């Protein structure tokens, strides 16, 4: 598969235009269900470009016409009427670009593959067992395109949900090897993740920088 087809709506090396708005991010948790964020340079992606959680975890570089720029991580969804191209920035992030009183700020933004993240982690959803499986990827450098489980019949692709978990469609259980593919086509195979739900299990691997 090409990068274009794996990437979906948000593609590398494309500049998107829209407006920035601001919201009170609280502890930084959001629709992507990563949990509280230590770094509040975060944003909510508009419903269309959120693309059923495909935007979750993406890093984007945001620029305003005044020359100010910031990097934010997507952790939330901005529901309709947020328009394609729109980013709802945390108030902390918006204030780096302009005064909050501006309200709506014309911006451009591009996808990043940053140098900073450590290794990614895997989290099983509450209720996951050898009979039913929900999996979340945390701390990935590049957006995740697909997630697969190794079964007795080979690799099986799980369905992505709008709340940023991948679910087995018909009760195929957790516990086997996991294969995660990013939008650039890199595949990481992860073994030995203990079947303990609601725990971020370090996977000791990370996608390459682009």
Q: pLDDT tens digits, residue range 151-210? A: 888 999 999 999 999 998 776 788 889 999 999 999 999 998 999 999 999 999 999 999
Residue identified by tokens 């996808």 is 111
Instruction: Please state the pTM of the whole predicted model.
Output: 0.95
Look at residue 115 and give its three-state secondary structure.
coil
Give the 3-state secondary structure percentages of the chain, helix then strand then coil, rounded to 5: 10, 35, 55
Q: Which two tokens stand for residue 72?
A: 């934010």
The mean pLDDT value for 28-54 works out to 96
Q: What is the DSSP string of 21-34?
A: EEE--TTS--TT--
Per residue in 70-125, pLDDT tens? 999 999 999 999 999 999 999 999 999 999 999 999 999 999 999 977 999 999 99
Task: Answer yes or no: are the C-beta atoms of 87 and 109 closer than 8 Å.
Answer: yes
- Strand partners of residue 167: 134, 159
Q: Please report the pLDDT score of residue 3 as a whole number.
A: 62
Check residue 169 and give its pLDDT: 72
Copy the structure tokens of residue 122.
Answer: 């895997």
Closest to 60 (Cα-Cα) out of 120, 16, 122? 16
Reported confidence tier of residue 4, pLDDT bands at 50, 70, 90: low
CA distances from 112 to 18, 60, 72, 193 (A): 17, 5, 10, 28
pLDDT, one tens digit per residue, over 17-29 is 999 999 999 999 9
Within a 10 A sphere around the Cβ of 137, how many other Cβ atoms?
A: 23
């Amino acid at each position: 598969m090409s990068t274009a087809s794996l990437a979906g709506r948000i593609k590398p090396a494309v500049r998107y235009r829209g407006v920035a708005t601001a919201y009170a991010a609280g502890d930084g948790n959001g629709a992507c269900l990563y949990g509280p964020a230590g770094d509040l340079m975060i944003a909510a992606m508009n419903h269309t470009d959120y693309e059923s959680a495909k935007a979750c975890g993406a890093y984007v570089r945001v620029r305003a016409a005044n020359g100010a720029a910031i990097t934010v991580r997507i952790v939330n969804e901005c529901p309709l009427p947020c328009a394609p191209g729109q980013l709802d920035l945390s108030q902390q992030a918006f204030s780096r670009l302009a005064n909050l009183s501006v309200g709506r700020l014309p911006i451009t933004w591009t996808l990043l593959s940053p140098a900073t993240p450590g290794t990614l982690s895997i989290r099983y959803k509450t209720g996951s067992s050898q009979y039913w499986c929900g999996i979340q990827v945390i701390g990935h450098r590049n957006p995740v395109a697909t997630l697969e489980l190794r079964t007795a019949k080979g690799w099986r692709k799980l369905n992505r949900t709008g709340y940023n978990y991948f679910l087995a469609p018909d009760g195929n259980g957790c516990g086997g090897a996991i294969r995660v593919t990013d939008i650039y086509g890199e595949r990481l195979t992860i073994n030995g993740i203990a079947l303990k739900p609601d725990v971020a299990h370090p996977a000791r691997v990370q996608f390459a920088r682009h």
